[in-house]
Structures are given as C-alpha cells and as structure tokens.
Structure 1
Amino acid sequence: MEMVRVVFLTVLMFFVLVTVHEWGHYFFAKRAGILVREFAIGFGPKLFSYKRNETQFTLRLLPFGGYARMAGEDPEIIEIGPGQMIAVRLGQDNKIKNIYLDMLDTRRNVIRGEAQHTDLENDLKIKLDVDGEIVTYDVHPQAMLIKGSQQTQIAPKDRQFGSKTVGQRALAIVAGPVMNFLLAFVLFALHLQMAGIAIENPTFVKIGGVSAGMPAEEAGLKSGDIVVSIDGETIGGDYEKMIAMTSVSKGKPMEWTLKRGDETLSVTMTPRSMEGEEGGKVGITTELPTRKVGFVETITLSGTAMVDTTQLIFTGFKQLINNFNMDDISGPVGTAKMTGQIAQQGIEYLTYWAAILSLYLGIFNLLPIPALDGSRLVFLGVEALRGKPVDPGHEGMVHFVGFALLFLVMIAVTYNDILRLISG
C-alpha cells in the first residue's frame, strides 16, 4: 500500500507541474483568440480524451511533458485542390459547417461537387461545380474538415498563432514558465505552513527518527519525544552535549528522561558502536524545533526561497557546463526515482521538492535552446527588431533540429538512469 501511495504522489506531482505549465500557454493563447487544437498532458498513446468547445483535452501514457497545440504553429490543414471531389453540409445559416474529403457516397444530406476554388483562411469561401453549375458557398469560421473518423476544425487566418501581435504571441509562450514560477512560490509557501521554520536558540532537543535495531528503538523511543536529561544532567537545547555524552558512554548504561506529550518517561539505554562511526550511538536523529509562520513572513520567506533556489539552479548549470559528465544528469527515470524517495519522507518534503522542480522547469524552458520556449521568444525578439517575422521554414527547421537533439539527449540520459537503477 505504501508503494502505491508513493507512485500515486509521484505521478500526481508531475501531472500538476506539467498541467500548470501548459495551462499558462493555453489560457493566454485563448485570450489572444488563437485556436488551441489540443491540450495534452504526457506523450505517447492516448489514455483518455474528450473535447470541450474547440479544444481536445488528452491524457497520454508518459506523464513527463505535455503541449498546447495552437493553430498555425505547425503546417495547417491539407489544402483542397482544384478538381477535387468533396461534399459539404450546410448549417441553418446556409454556411458550410462540415467539409467531407472521402467516403462521399456514404454521406447524407450533403452537396457533392468538384472544388473550383477553396479559401479556408481569408475569405472563407468554397466554389463548387455542382452538376455543371458553379456555386459559391460561405464557410463557417468553425467548420470541420472530415476525413474518415478524423475531424479537424479549420483555422481562419485571424485564429492562427502567426496572425497575432508579437506581444500576444510572446505572452502565450512565456505564460507557461511564469505559471511554473507562480506554482513554485505557492508550493514554497505551503511547505512553510506545513513544516514551519526552525526556532532560533531552541530550549529542547526533539527526536526526529529512530533507527531500527538500535538501543533507542529497543527502549521504546518514538519520533517527537523530547530529551529532558541524561544521567541527571539537563540537556535543554544543547544537541552537541547530548551527542558528546552518548559518544563517551559506549557500553555503559545511561538513564534518559524524556517527555512525550504530557507524560514523562525514564528509560535506560546502552550506547553501542556503529560501523564507520566513532563512539557510542543509540540510533536517533534529531528534529529541529519549529514554530508556525505568519502570513507576511510566509510571503517574505517564500520569495527568499525562490531567489536562493534560483541561484543554486544557475550554479548547477555553470558547473555542468564547466565539468560536463553524463553521470551528473538525471532524466525522467532518475527524477522519478528521487521523487519517490522524497515522497516516502512525507508530504511536506514532497511539497518542497515539487517547488524546486517547478522553478527548475520554468527556468529551463526559458533557456534559448531550440524547441524550448526560450528559443521561440528569441525568434519573436528578432521579429520585433526586424519589423518582420523570420522565415517560418527556417524557424521550424531550427526547432525541429533542436527537438531531435533534445530527444537524443533524453534517450541517452534515460538509458544512463536505467543502468544506474539496475546497478543500484
């Protein structure tokens, strides 16, 4: 049952991080009037899919990623060439609402004809030769192109990504990383509320963990017990004094007085040696006493955690560049393994780890690496400076090559993670 809980929490964490990121893209794209064809969490085969309004919401097998596919980002719908036989169905407003590209004889309540001219982006008109008569039909801006069981909504020019201003497109792109930054801030704040902060100059020593098979476990000590005195000497908040007294008492019985809630306990423990450790040990770890955090302090400390963690992330990038080693990089498998280990320690630790990953995801996506959000922002910056967009073919090739390279690196890193997992 514990394993199921850890796996669930791990998958849930990745689901939340990716969903928040992609929702940022989705929300601001919709606000700009861009048609978002699909909002997908994960990659690979579909597990679940449903359509709401104009967008297909999809859950895929591998939870390490996602995308909000906007009209115009990729080559648009296959064009209907002159002379192609098609069938159309009109709506109540006499505008075309469905365009059928195959199985024409099986379509009912349709008008069949030979396409003479088709414009599904600007004028939204289709000119058909229907039994020798040339007829022009208006196309509804949300008309569907249907081929077999596949339905694709047309994207008029003003619904495509490239038709929007540089500012609108930049906002739709940067919104993903920004949402990760906001999520990281919220998660840091939640962690502070759950765990509190360490008390300065504590007046007591609190037991955090008890090692199996050691004197403390045999004597019945539990996490949360407070050490009052040892051999009659008051410990107070002097953690080092407790360690020193235990260390010099290897093999000698010691009288410990503890407080558990409102109850006072007296136990006898005989410290013994541990492999690789000097002196006597009873097998306990201590937990720093904490206090609750107020609202204003939570905001301040969450901001401090954001700044400190960002500095650590960039320090890690610098070290990785200066001393590149494949073993220093973890992919989805390694990250999932570490997340599972942290989830076993408790929800407050997982919350803190999720905050770090969310911040990392936002920063990484803003790096000017082809196929990432940062690279797309660079192209938009160049467009703003030039006054005209970069050739879509050239930009698309850069992103394609970048994605291919990232994919190859991900395969190599995942392979390395699996080898480390197998070797222990």
Structure 2
Amino acid sequence: MEMLQIIIMTVLMFFLIVTVHEWGHYYFAKRAGILVREFAIGFGPKLFSYKHNETQFTLRMLPFGGYARMAGEDPELIEVQTGQTVAVRLTGDEVTKIYLDRLDTRKNVIRGEVVSVDLEQKLFIELDVDGEKQAFPVHRQAMLTAKGKDTQIAPKDRQYGSKTVGQRALAIFAGPLMNFVLAFVLFALHIQMAGIPLDPTHLEIGEVSKGMPAAETGLKRGDIIESINGVAIGTDGEKMINMISESQDKQMTWKIRRGDQQLEVKITPRAIEGQEGGKVGTSIVYYQPTRSAGFGETLTKSGEAMANTTQAIFLGFKQLINKFSMDDLGGPVRTFELTGQIAKQGIAQLTQWAAILSLYLGIFNLLPIPALDGSRLIFLGVEALRGKPIDPNREGMVHFIGFAMLFLLMIAVTYNDILRLISG
C-alpha cells in the first residue's frame, strides 16, 4: 500500500509540473487569439483524450514532457487543393464541414470539384457542381474531415505567425514563467509545513542496516545519542564517526535515549571490505527543532530558496560542461527513482523536491537549445531586430533536429538509468 501511495504521489507531482508549464503556453496563446489545436501531457500514443471548445486535451504514453500545439506553428497536415473533389455541408449559408474522403457516404452535402479555395484570409470555397460554379463562404470554425478525423481550419489571424513578436514571445515564455511561479508557491508550502529550522540540539540514529552491529544490538531509528564511552556527543557528528572508526573490533558503550527511557548499549564496530576503520551500520541525523514561519517570512524564505536553488542548478550545468559524463545525467527513470525515495520521507520533503524540479524545468527550457523555449525566443529576438521573420522552413528544421537530438539523448540516458538499476 505504501509503495502504491508513493507511485501515485510521484505521478501526480510530474503531472502537476508539466501541466502548469503547458498551461502557461496554452493560456497566453488563447489570450492572443491563437488557435491551440492540442494540449498534450507526454509524447507518443494517446492514452486518454477529450475535446473542450477548440482544443483536444490528451494524455500520452511517454512521460517526457508535453506540448501545446498552436495553429501555424508547424505546417498544416491537411489542405484542400484546386482540382480536388470534395463534399461540403452548409449551416445556413456558410460551409461548416468540408469532407475530403468517403464522399459517397456523406448525406445532405454538396459535392463538387474545387475551382478555388482560401481558408486563411477570404474564407471561401468555389466548387464546380455538375458544370456549374458555386461559391460558398466558409465559417471561421469550419472542420476539415478526413480519415474519420476532424481538423478545424485556422484563419490567418488565428495562426501563431500572424501575431506580434511580443504576443508570440509571451506565449512561449509563459511556460517557464508558470514553472517559476509554481516553484515559489511550492517552496512557500514547504516552509509552512516544515517550519524554520533552529540550531541542532542533538544527534539521532537514522537508517539502520540489517546484519550490522547496530541492528544486532537493537538500535532503532530515532534513538538519541547522548554519550559514547562516557564522552558527551552533543551535535558533533564528526567526533562520533571518528570514535567508531578507531574502535574496530573493540566494544563501545553507548548511552542513548529512546522516548522516556535511558538505555546503555554495548556495541562492537567491525570492518567492511573496501572501507577503512570500524563500522556499525547506521547513519546519523542532526535533529533540528523548528518554529512556525509568518506570512512575510514565508515569502522571504521562498525567494531565498529560489535564488539558492537557481545558483545550484547553474553550478551543476557548469560542472557538467567542464567534465561531461553520462553517469552524471539522469532521465525519467532516475528522476522517478529519486522522487520515490524522497516521497518516503514525507509530504514536506516531496513538496520541496517538486519545487526544485519545477524551477529546474523552467530554467532548462530557457536554455538556447533547438526545440526548447529558449531557442524559440532567440528566433523571435532575431526577428525583432531584423524587422522580418526568419524563413519558417529553416527555423522548423533547426527545431526538428534539436528535438531529434534531445529525444536520442533521452533514450540513451534512460537506457543508462535502467542498466544502473539492474546492476544495483
């Protein structure tokens, strides 16, 4: 049951972080009047899908991220060509559906050969119907139907490329921005749950390894270490580790407190192959009392956590560039593994970890790597300086290559993560 809860909490955390990011793109694109065709969480085959207003909301199999697909961002897959035979259905005097296949099965339609068509600006279609040319206005939300799938047309003013540089930049930047907002909120929630730490007051037993002296003598997680061989320990963890290391195969006397009980434990450290000195098989935890945080203090500490974590993330990028190693990279498998370990520590720790991941996702997406939001913003910046857009085909090719490279890297990292899990 505990494992199931951890899996559910982990999945919900990733779902929240990715959904908030894509919602930023979606919301500001809609505000700019852009048609958002699909709001997807994940990539690959669909697991779940439903349509609301003009947007198809989908959950996909591969948990590598998500996307908000805007009309005009990529070449339209379905087009109506002159000379093509189609069938149209009218509502009033406007075309609301254009059928591109299975024309013989369509009822209550007008069938003819396309003489001319404009589904972006003038919004009309002209057909040759039994030798007679007939022109029909097309509704702004008309559907193209082919292979059992409806695709809404996108008039020019509803396409991504028709909007100002500022509107497009905001729609792109809004994804990382929402991750920064979410990170701040999650850091604040963590501070409210965990409180403000005060100075450590004592050391406690942490994890106890099976088959080691600590487990054999009955030490338990949470036992407070008061003295070893008559020497008070306080919060000096280094002193405790040195005393254990120097007492290999020598019996030690530990005085511990367990709740209201004072206990004396005899324990003999022993050697572990490949490590120096005596070991007892425990970790130690610095016990830190906490106090509640006020509203203003919560905001201040959240800002500090954002700044400190951002600094740590960029330091990690720098170290990765200076000394690249596949073992230093972690994909979805490794991240899920770490998240599961953190989830076992409690909701407060998981909330803090979610804040770190959300901040990381926002920063990573702003890097100038093709296919990421940062690269798209650079193209928009160049367009603003030039006064005209870069060739969409060239930009699309850059993003396609970047996405392919990132996807291959993700596969390699995931493979490495799986090997690491198998080998232990």
Instruction: Summarize deviations over 1:55-112 as a string: whole Å, max 9, x none.
Output: 0000011112111000001112533222221111111x42111111111111111111
Corresponding residue number in structure 1 for 2:182? 183
Instruction: Summarize deviations over 1:274-326 as a string: whole Å, max 9, x none.
Output: 43464675846234223132222221111111111111111111122122222
Instruction: Summarize deviations over 1:175-226 as a string: whole Å, max 9, x none.
Output: 11111111111222222222223212x4454555555456665676654555
Corresponding residue number in structure 1 for 2:261? 265
Aligned partner letter, 2:301 = L
Aligned partner letter, 2:329 = I
Distance 1:252 1:82 in 2: 92
The change in CA–CA distance for 1:411 and 1:240 in structure 2 (over 3 A counts) is closer
Q: Does the Cα contact within 8 Å between 1:18 and 1:64 map onto a contact in 2?
A: no
The change in CA–CA distance for 1:331 and 1:82 in structure 2 (over 3 A counts) is same
Aligned partner letter, 1:376 = R
Query: Percent of aligned positions with the same letter in both sequences?
Result: 67
Query: 1:233: Cα distance to partner?
Result: 8.1
Instruction: Summarize deviations over 1:236-281 as a string: whole Å, max 9, x none.
Output: 666667778878885244444x362xxx212221122043464675
Question: Are 1:370 and 2:366 an aligned pair?
Answer: no
Corresponding residue number in structure 1 for 2:172? 173
Aligned partner letter, 1:143 = A
Query: 1:369: Cα distance to partner?
Result: 0.9
Aligned partner letter, 1:121 = E
Distance 1:94 1:162 in 2: 30
The change in CA–CA distance for 1:411 and 1:244 in structure 2 (over 3 A counts) is closer
User: Secondary structure of the residue that 2:6 maps to in structure 1?
Assistant: helix
Distance 1:398 1:333 in 2: 28
Query: 1:142: Cα distance to partner?
Result: 0.5
Corresponding residue number in structure 2 for 1:139? 138
Aligned residue pairs, count: 418
Distance 1:116 1:89 in 2: 17
Query: 1:130: Cα distance to partner?
Result: 2.2
The change in CA–CA distance for 1:143 and 1:330 in structure 2 (over 3 A counts) is same
Query: 1:415: Cα distance to partner?
Result: 2.4
Distance 2:101 2:4 in 1: 47
Distance 1:352 1:197 in 2: 14
User: Secondary structure of the residue that 1:270 maps to in structure 2?
Assistant: strand
Corresponding residue number in structure 2 for 1:25? 25
Counterparts in 2 of 1:289-300, with a 5 A limit? 289-291=288-290, 292-300=292-300
User: Secondary structure of the residue that 1:179 maps to in structure 2?
Assistant: helix
Aligned partner letter, 1:74 = D
The change in CA–CA distance for 1:418 and 1:75 in structure 2 (over 3 A counts) is same
Distance 2:419 2:117 in 1: 55
Distance 1:83 1:245 in 2: 89
Larger mean Cα displacement after TM superposition, 142-151 or 221-230: 221-230
Question: Are 1:306 and 2:309 an aligned pair?
Answer: no
Corresponding residue number in structure 2 for 1:355? 355
Query: 1:8: Cα distance to partner?
Result: 2.4
Distance 1:84 1:140 in 2: 20
The change in CA–CA distance for 1:248 and 1:403 in structure 2 (over 3 A counts) is closer
Question: Are 1:388 and 2:388 an aligned pair?
Answer: yes
The change in CA–CA distance for 1:284 and 1:324 in structure 2 (over 3 A counts) is closer
Corresponding residue number in structure 1 for 2:163? 164
The change in CA–CA distance for 1:326 and 1:232 in structure 2 (over 3 A counts) is closer
Corresponding residue number in structure 1 for 2:345? 345
The change in CA–CA distance for 1:369 and 1:282 in structure 2 (over 3 A counts) is closer
Structure 1 gaps, min length 5: none
The change in CA–CA distance for 1:236 and 1:251 in structure 2 (over 3 A counts) is closer
Corresponding residue number in structure 1 for 2:94? 95
Instruction: Summarize deviations over 1:316-341 as a string: whole Å, max 9, x none.
Output: 11122122222222222222222223
Q: Does the Cα contact within 8 Å between 1:246 and 1:281 map onto a contact in 2?
A: yes
The change in CA–CA distance for 1:392 and 1:187 in structure 2 (over 3 A counts) is same
User: Secondary structure of the residue that 1:293 maps to in structure 2?
Assistant: coil
Q: CA RMSD in A?
A: 2.6
Q: Does the Cα contact within 8 Å between 1:185 and 1:306 map onto a contact in 2?
A: yes
Aligned partner letter, 2:131 = G
Q: Does the Cα contact within 8 Å between 1:198 and 1:288 map onto a contact in 2?
A: no
Q: TM-score, normalised by structure 2?
A: 0.89
The change in CA–CA distance for 1:316 and 1:265 in structure 2 (over 3 A counts) is same
Question: Are 1:47 and 2:47 an aligned pair?
Answer: yes
